Amino acid sequence: MVAAIVAGCLQAEYPVFSSEVVETAFCLAARAHNNQQRKNGDSLLSHCVQVAKTLASLGLDAEAVAAGLLHECLENNNAFRSQLEEFMPASVVSVCDRVNTISEMSRLYRQHNSSGSFSEETFKRMLVAMEDVTAVLVKLADRIHNMRTISVLPKERQEALARETLEVYSCVANRLGVWCIKAELEDLAFSVLHPEVRSRRLCKRRFSKHKVQPACGESQAAQRWASAFPHASKCAGIRPVLALTRYHFA
């Protein structure tokens, strides 16, 4: 009953949630994460929904949103793979696999970055070079929600995630031209690592009358976005920049 209410609210807000593949993905995610909770007490399904909503807000297609709903299903439960393969397109299952690969890369980065054996530049190049941009976007959406709810983690763990977010994920978002995500990731990371600096940044944004300056390589990033998601081309050079404007100067 609760799941049906949530699904109805999502469909009212984002029409993509009414597509058959997304409705099926929601049912599969609800089954896979039944009674599973995150460390803050929220259901794991709610996290997956927030990831999918972020992807929908970027104008991505139904398969990308479905992958957002299902991105946690295979991480700790590979037995669920047969159900995904039965009910989901192969492209969605592939994105889920690639998101898991990125998550594993992320863990290796946090473990070995201090020794220099796995640098942030190496990690960034690996992410940007991935053939499937969708998987990177799902991971960016996943990291945004994880950073929004980071306060329940031990301080050391918070700082490790925040440093990785600032050094890797915000840079990748910038290279892909998703500036609204880049801006929020930076602010969330600064709130953990340098809260006093974040406070000054927010004050400066609130009273600044300057226009947002395009990021370096903006046109190339927008072209890559448009090439990967032609159906969402309006989001490539307009929507993220407008979102960044509102986020920084509202």
Q: Which one is predicted more confidently, 4 or 124?
A: 124
pLDDT, one tens digit per residue, over 125-146 is 888 778 789 999 999 999 999 9
Residue 89 CB burial class (10 angstroms; 0-12, 13-18, ≥19) = middle
Close Cβ partners of 244 (under 8 Å, ≥ 6 residues apart): 179, 180, 182, 183, 212
Q: What is the pLDDT of residue 79?
A: 80
DSSP string, 94-123: HHHHHHHHHHHHHHHHHHHGGGTSS-HHHH
CATH of domain 1-156: 1.10.3210.10
Distance of alpha carbon 131 from the chain centroid = 17
pLDDT, one tens digit per residue, over 102-126 is 999 998 888 887 776 778 888 888 8
Q: What is the pLDDT of residue 210?
A: 42
DSSP string, 38-70: -TTS-BHHHHHHHHHHHHHHTT--HHHHHHHHH
Q: Helix, strand, or coil here: 127? A: helix
What gap in Å lies between CA 147 and CA 106, rounded to an integer? Answer: 14
Q: What is the pLDDT of residue 201?
A: 57
What gap in Å lies between CA 81 and CA 29, rounded to an integer? Answer: 12
Q: What is the pLDDT of residue 235?
A: 43
In this structure, the dihedral spanned by the alpha carbons of residues 102, 42, 247 and 138, taken in order and rounded to 10 degrees, is 20
Q: What is the pLDDT of residue 123?
A: 85
pLDDT value at 185 more than 80 = yes
pLDDT, one tens digit per residue, over 18-75 is 999 999 999 999 999 988 888 888 899 999 999 999 999 999 999 999 999 999 998 8
Average pLDDT value over all residues in the chain: 80
What gap in Å lies between CA 3 and CA 163, rounded to an integer? Answer: 35
Mean pLDDT of all residues in 137-166:
94
Q: Helix, strand, or coil here: 37? A: strand
pLDDT, one tens digit per residue, over 205-245 is 544 444 444 444 444 555 555 555 555 544 433 344 334 33
What gap in Å lies between CA 143 and CA 161, rounded to an integer? Answer: 9
Q: Parse the chain into domains and list their residue ranges.
A: 1-156, 175-250
pTM to 2 decimals?
Answer: 0.79
Distance of alpha carbon 211 from the chain centroid = 26
